[in-house]
Amino acid sequence: MKSIPVIVGRLLATISIPSYYYAPQFLSQSVHSFVVSMTGGNTLSGVSMLRQMGYPHLSAVIAVVQYLLIGLVWTGIGLVAFGLVAKKTSKPMVVKLVAAEQFEELTPQAKRFKDVKGGSNKRRKRAGSF
């Protein structure tokens, strides 16, 4: 179980459900206060001005916002389900390689390097230097 998606999903769902119910009142109050501040108290001319500028009716905006909030609830439920089903990833472990030196001895380039450096015991015995 992953805890972060579960927490985020529960947070989305708990915020979106009450917002769905309070969205119509909040939107109508905010539009009303915006129109009053623009027109100086005459709300009828302000509403017609908003419609002339291409703003949709408030009922259409409220429906879109409520659909978006329903989508957020489903997203939260999906995150919770994913968090409950998903496995935790294991942390990477540091592995000390022991075979690295043995691998160098098997390569032909390493053999030539040791011969030039004088690291081969067989050559020393044959040459009679010791």
| pLDDT confidence of residue 62 | 86
Residue 124 above 70 pLDDT?
no
DSSP code of residue 41: S
Q: What percent of the chain has pLDDT over 90?
A: 15
| Torsion sign, CA atoms 74, 76, 80, 82 | positive
104 pLDDT more than 60: no
Residue scoring higher pLDDT (55 or 7): 7
pTM, rounded to two decimals: 0.56
Residues 95 and 102: their CA atoms lie apart, in Å, by 17
Q: Among the listed ranges 26-35, 36-45, 47-56, 79-88, which one has the minimum average pLDDT value?
A: 36-45
Query: Residue 64 above 60 pLDDT?
Result: yes
- If one compares 1 and 41, the residue with the highest pLDDT of the two is 1
CB 43 within 8 A of CB 28: no
